[in-house]
Amino acid sequence: MEVTVTLTVNGIERTITTDSERPLIDVIREDLQLTGTKEGCGEGRCGACSVLMDGQRVLSCVTAIVQADGKSIRTIESLAQGNTLHQVQEAFLAEGAMQCGYCTTGMIMTAVGLLEANPRPTDEEIIAAMRGNICRCNGYTKILNAIRRAVGRPQEVSAI
Amino acid sequence: MSTHNQVLETVEDYQGTDATSCVSTGGFEGFKVEISRRGFVRMLGAGLLITVTEGVSLAQRRGGGSQQPSTVVARLFINEDGTFTCLSGKVEEGQGARTELSQAAAEELRVPFDRVRLVMADTNVVPDDGITAGSRTTPYNVPPMRQAAATARELLERLAARQWQVDPDGLEVRDGKVTNAATGQTLTYAQLAKTEGVDEMFRQRVDGGIALTSVDDWKVMGQPISKPTHRDIVLGRHRYPSDIVRPNMLHGKLLRPVSYGATLESIDLSPAQAMKDVVVVRDGQFVGCAAPMVFQARKALEAIAETATWKTVPHPSSREISTYLKEHARTDRARPNARGSTETAFGGAAKTLSETYELAYIQHTPMEPRAGVAEWTDGKLTVWTGTDGPYRVRGDLARAFGLRDDQVQVIVPDMGGGFGGKHTGEAAEEAARLAKAAGRPVHVRWTRAEESTWAYFRPAAVIECKGALDSNGSLIAWDFTNINAGGAAIDTPYNIPNTRILSVSSDSPLRQGAYRCLAATGNNFARESFMDELAAAAGADPLEFRLAHLQNERIRAVLVEVAKRFDWPARKKKVTPELGVGLACGTEKNSVVAACVEVAIDRRSGEIKVLEVGEVFECGPVINPANLTNQVQGCIIMGLGGALREEMVFADGKILNASFSRYLVPRFDDVPKIDVYLLENNDIPSAGGGETPIIAIAPAIGNAVFAATGVRVRSMPMRARQLRSALA
Ligand code: FES
Ligand code: FES
């Protein structure tokens, strides 16, 4: 069934007429061509598709477009201001917390969601928030280090 | 948008390149340098191409007339601004080939890292460097890249010498500049590359075997340099194969059989044909739908899939896999690798042990499932796809569509993981078929379920081990047979007088193929677990027992080092029924590894939680320590999945856990305390480091479980239910 929804994506209001069951990720990637949001499973189990909806991290692969009606969506493309990266992006770069990088944008959006709700999370809180995000390449350690760095605890970051 | 690779979308055929001169490189045996100005200029901009090829001298020695094509070992292009574009047939999937090959070129060119751009895996421009697999990029592709870069540097140096009318020996090259120390004159690479008639100048003999920079003098190699794509990745700008969009492109979905071996008997295509904008294709067993949106294509496919009828065939289940593999073992074809006489030794042994280990099928589950975009233009096919074998896929596509190789271009954008699981090009071929029928470019992205069902798997195995001890507790005989998984790292590194080692193939009910370290993981798991069993039987400490039988200095070094860092003797004394420590070591692909782990056991549930992993790894001179640490950490975590949880569960020809909710890969909360230590060894050439670090994890965990509980779980994965029932 076709529906018309209005949502704000990265600050720009969009009106989209499409099938009501279509997942938000498809609209983001296909209609808006924001391909920084990745699909890793399509079943809500890997976090690659993480975006922020009204400030809350959601999995865009299991969010139907109708659920996004009237909401404000932020994707990875919204984080940097001109040439200035967001502190979480900066931290991922500084720690080299990626290999193939396919999970990275979802990791970053999940971490940004966490930090906006809780600017000084403990390791336990970080791990609990990140548990839904899978990385198959790098063993998570550097990702944890990157998030520690982003919240201002770089001294706990191991060398290399 | 990332500038890596996509830049070459409109490239014309390499075949048209006009080589203006060929320089024999004399003592640099078997290599030749070719330089051209046209051809590549069209796609890379103004500059000069240097191609280093192999096999020429050989052909000449045989009488000159050989039409054998020479093998290109490296290509690099000097841009007019003095930067370099290097070309490699390897692919980047997160393992770090892009960075290390760029470092190799920059090192020998004597330029900073950022002055080298690497174009990878575009069959129209890069040499065929073979499939990206087997940790081969470091030992086999880095050296020729360095040689090509050194040759280019030498040529530029001579060019400067010629301009100044001086002896090149007195010149120095640093930071992309040739300097005459005597006069203080300098010429930059940029100036040299623009020199009028530069190609004429290159028509001279290049002395072969230019010395490569020694490890002690490395300035770019050996550094923890980040991948050049990192910034684009964190910005969400890097374009993976899944992200490629072509004008007028459709998305495709394929009909998959209901079970392995099932054949389509009938299907009604009309429900999809009635849908707006949907292209439906059927060609025998091949059925697919393409539409402007993924959602439409999926709906269309679902509509016709409901109408399909299938003829199914029986298929064994994962429960009976070990019996099945044993029954179908082709023992008659296998030839053991034997030393001494195991028969005699077993006969006269003080103690004999015999056990069987099992290995489940597992899937690589790279975060990016297979994806391919295909576009037909004037009968020629271009695909963008995630594969380890761009040239292999080009050949496959050419055969599938009756084209010549040069009518197919395969481009592999840096992709989202592989781990040995993307040697093939299914999605590209499916996209090409749909695109041909639709007359428009088509993108096929596999779902997680498709990747976990229709790609291939790391082989399952049955591994039979037999060992004998003499009255002194020395290991005197070793009999080891791997059914189905293969022979990687099957030979024992231990010093045992009588051995019989055998790899036997079988009929695999699942499609199987490469995996990170392939059979080495299973072979090392069985060997290192069984060594532990023998140590226990001999009443010896597992570390002492290994060292007593180990002559390989490199393995000894990592083993001793990891035991020291982990404080093995003290930690061993603290073992309780709930807390165990274990160790294991191994070698494969010319690198060596040892690990110590600590595990906590929940004796009621049988759950095994890995608390700590210490791993020492050595692979010769380290080209990029940051990347290597990532690889080792990644291997530890991936190894943990295969050790404890990952296994394909299947019955009636269906995979029952083709999803991340049922196939449990390691997550954040599984991560133990990790200590990775890279042992220095600059006396040998660099070996690849992305695979071997995985092989010590599972056996070290199993050995730690045994230390705590006295129970051996002889399978990968070591399931909680197995431990639970053994402890009950
Ligand atoms: S793609 Fe959405 S959770 Fe995996
Ligand atoms: S970096 Fe490859 S999946 Fe995380």
According to the 3-state scheme, what is the secondary structure of B627-662? HHHHHHHHHHHHHHHHHHCCCCCEECCEECCCCCCC
pLDDT digits (tens, 9 = 90+) for B571-595: 999 999 999 999 999 999 999 999 9
Instruction: List C-alpha distances in Å: B19 to A29, B22, B178, B204, B409.
Output: 44, 7, 26, 15, 22
Domain identity same for B140 and B187? yes
Q: Answer whether residue B106 is part of any domain.
A: yes
- pLDDT at position A156: 59
pLDDT tens digits, one per residue of B620-643: 999 999 999 999 999 999 999 999
Ligand 2: atom nearest CA of B367 is 3
Instruction: Ligand 2, residue A98: give the atom nearest the CA.
Output: 1
Question: In the β-sheet with B498-504, what is the strand arrangement from edge to edge?
Answer: B337-339, B498-504, B475-483, B461-469, B351-359, B715-716
| pLDDT tops 50 at residue B27 | no
Q: Mark whether A68 and A18 lie in a shared domain.
A: yes
Give the pLDDT mean for B496-513.
Answer: 97
Alpha carbons B86 and B98: distance in angstroms, whole number: 10
| Integer angstrom CA distances of residue A123 from A66, A153, A157, B637, B668 | 35, 10, 12, 18, 11
pLDDT above 80 for B208: no
Rounded to the nearest whole angstrom, what is the distance from the C-alpha of residue B416 to the centroid of ligand 2?
A: 7
Q: Which of A39, A92, A104, A107 to mutate to test the pocket of ligand 2 (most atoms within 8 A of CB)?
A: A104
Select from B230, B236, B365 the Cβ nearest to the Cβ of A98.
Answer: B230
- CA-nearest residue for atom 4, ligand 2, is A135
pLDDT tens digits, B668-692: 999 999 999 999 999 999 999 999 9
Average pLDDT, chain A: 95
Count of domains for chain A:
2
The pLDDT confidence band at residue B602, using thresholds 50, 70 and 90, is: very high
Q: Residue B12 has what pLDDT? A: 23
Q: Are residues A70 and A103 in the same domain?
A: no
* Enclosing domain of residue A91: 87-150
Find which of A46, A124, A136, A145 to mutate to test the B interface (most B CBs within 10 Å of its CB): A136
Residue B654 CA to residue B317 CA, distance in Å, equals 9
Residue B596 lies in a domain: yes
For residue A29, being part of any structural domain is answered with: yes
Best mutation target among A141, A143, A147, A157 (most B Cβ atoms within 10 Å) is: A141
The predicted-structure confidence for B336-374, as pLDDT tens digits, reads as follows 999 999 999 999 999 999 999 999 999 999 999 999 999
Considering only residues A95 and B27, tell me which one the structure prediction assigns the higher pLDDT. A95
Using a CB–CB cutoff of 8 Å, tell me whether B42 touches chain A.
Answer: no
Inside any domain, residue B9: no
Quick one: pLDDT at residue B203?
A: 55
Poorest-pLDDT segment among A44-48, B54-58, B286-290, B376-380: B54-58
Say whether both A51 and A103 belong to one domain: no
Whether the pLDDT of residue B195 is over 90: the answer is no
- Nearest CA, atom 3, ligand 1: A44
Q: What is the mean pLDDT of residues B439-467?
A: 98
Q: Note whether B236 contacts A36, CB cutoff 8 Å.
A: yes
Across the range B489-512, mean pLDDT stands at 97
How far apart CA B675 and CA B615 sit, in angstroms, is 6
Domain of residue B522, CATH code: 3.30.365.10
- pLDDT of residue B32 exceeding 80, the answer is no
How much is the pLDDT for B188? 94
Say if residue B590 is in the same domain as residue B656.
yes
Domain that holds residue B538: 328-361+457-727
> Does B671 share its domain with B529?
yes
**Which of B692, B555, B559 has its CA nearest to residue B631?**
B692
Kindly determine whether residue A35 and residue B243, on different chains, have CB atoms separated by under 8 Å.
Answer: yes
Domain ends where: B445, B476, B509? B445
H or E stretch covering A109: helix A104-117
| pLDDT of B663 above 50 | yes
Q: ipTM value of the model?
A: 0.97
pLDDT for position B37: 46
pLDDT of residue B25: 32
d(CA B672, CA B500): 37
Note the pLDDT of residue B724.
98
Q: What tokens appear for A112 in the block?
A: 């940004």
We report the CATH number of the domain holding residue A47 as 3.10.20.30
Asked if A76 and B629 come within 8 Å (Cβ–Cβ), the reply is no
Cα B52 to Cα B46: distance, rounded to the nearest angstrom: 20
Asked if the Cβ–Cβ distance from A130 to B668 is below 8 Å, we say yes
Contacts of A96 in chain B (CB under 8 A): 224, 226-227, 230, 626-627, 630
**pLDDT tens per residue, range B300-344:** 999 999 999 999 999 999 999 999 999 999 988 788 999 999 999
- Whether A155 is covered by a domain: the verdict is no
Which of B93, B227, B231, B233 should we substitute to test contact with A (largest number of A Cβ atoms within 10 Å)? Answer: B233
Give the single-character DSSP code of B571: H
Distance B660 CA to ligand 1 centre (A): 9
Q: Does residue B4 form part of some domain?
A: no
A69 lies in the same domain as A98: no
In a domain, residue B27? The reply is no
Residues A92 and A73 in one domain: no
- Which residue, B545, B66, B508, is CA-closest to B325? B508
Residues A75-104 have a mean pLDDT of 97
Query: Tens digits of per-residue pLDDT, B473-485?
Result: 999 999 999 999 9
Residue B121 placed within a domain: yes
Report which ligand 1 atom has the smallest distance to the Cα of A62.
2
Task: Please tell me whether residues B395 and B508 are part of one structural domain.
Answer: no
A98: left (phi over 0), alpha (psi -120 to 50) or beta: beta
Question: What average pLDDT does the segment A140-144 reach?
Answer: 96
Shortest distance between the Cα of A92 and any Cα of chain B, in A, equals 7
Number of domains in chain B: 3
Looking at all shown ligands, the one closest to residue B92's CA atom is: 2
| A5 within ligand 1 shell (Cβ under 6 A) | no
Q: How far does residue B302's CA lie from ligand 1's centre (Å)? A: 21
In a domain, A158, yes or no: no
**How far is B655 from B662, CA to CA, in rounded Å?**
11
Ligand 2 mean position to B663 CA, how many Å? 17
pLDDT digits (tens, 9 = 90+) for B493-502: 999 999 999 9
**CA–centroid distance, residue A132 to ligand 1 (Å):** 9
Type of residue numbered B385:
T
* Pocket flag, ligand 1, residue A44 (CB < 6 Å): yes
- Give the end of a domain, one of B234, B252, B277: B234
Considering Cα of B692, then B694, then B699, then B700, what sign does the dihedral take?
Answer: positive
Last-in-domain residue among A78, A105, A135? A78
Out of B233, B625, B671, closest to residue A101 by CB? B233
Pocket test of ligand 1: the residue of A38, A39, A105 to mutate, having most ligand atoms within 8 Å of its CB, is A39
CB B389 within 8 A of CB B132: yes
Ligand nearest to the CA of A23: 1
Kindly report the pTM of this predicted structure: 0.93
For B2, which residue in chain A has the nearest alpha carbon? A36
Lowest mean pLDDT among A82-86, A103-107, B65-69: B65-69
B130 and B221 within one domain = yes
Amino acid B154: pLDDT:
87
Q: Among residues A47, A78, A109, which one ends one of the domains?
A: A78
The whole-chain average pLDDT of chain B stands at 90
Contact call for residues B397 and B428 (beta carbons, < 8 A): yes
Integer Cα distance of B274 and B291 in angstroms: 13
Residue A56 within any structural domain of the chain? yes
Pairing mode, if any, of strands B380-385 and B408-411? parallel
Residue to substitute from B367, B373, B670, interface A, most A β-carbons within 10 A: B367
One domain, residues A36 and A93: no
Same domain (yes/no): B432, B560 = no
User: Is B427 found in the same domain as B391?
Assistant: yes
Quickly state the pLDDT bin for B47 (edges 50, 70, 90): low
Q: Is the dihedral of CA B134, B137, B143, B144 positive or negative?
A: positive
| Distance of residue A66 Cα from the nearest chain B Cα, in angstroms | 15
B631 and B707 housed in the same domain:
yes
Q: What is the pLDDT of residue B125?
A: 85
Task: For B533-569, write each residue's pLDDT tens digit.
Answer: 999 999 999 999 999 999 999 999 999 999 999 999 9
Query: A45 to chain B: which residues are within 8 Å by CB?
Result: 659-661
Answer yes or no: is pLDDT of B395 > 70. Answer: yes
Confidence of residue B172 (pLDDT cuts 50, 70, 90): very high
Please confirm whether the linkage preceding B717 is cis (ω < 30° from 0).
Answer: yes
Q: What is the pLDDT of residue B148?
A: 84
Whether residue A64 is contained in a domain is answered as yes
pLDDT at position B367: 98
pLDDT band at B15 (very low <50, low <70, confident <90, very high): very low
Query: Which stretch of DSSP H or E encloses residue B358?
Result: strand B351-359
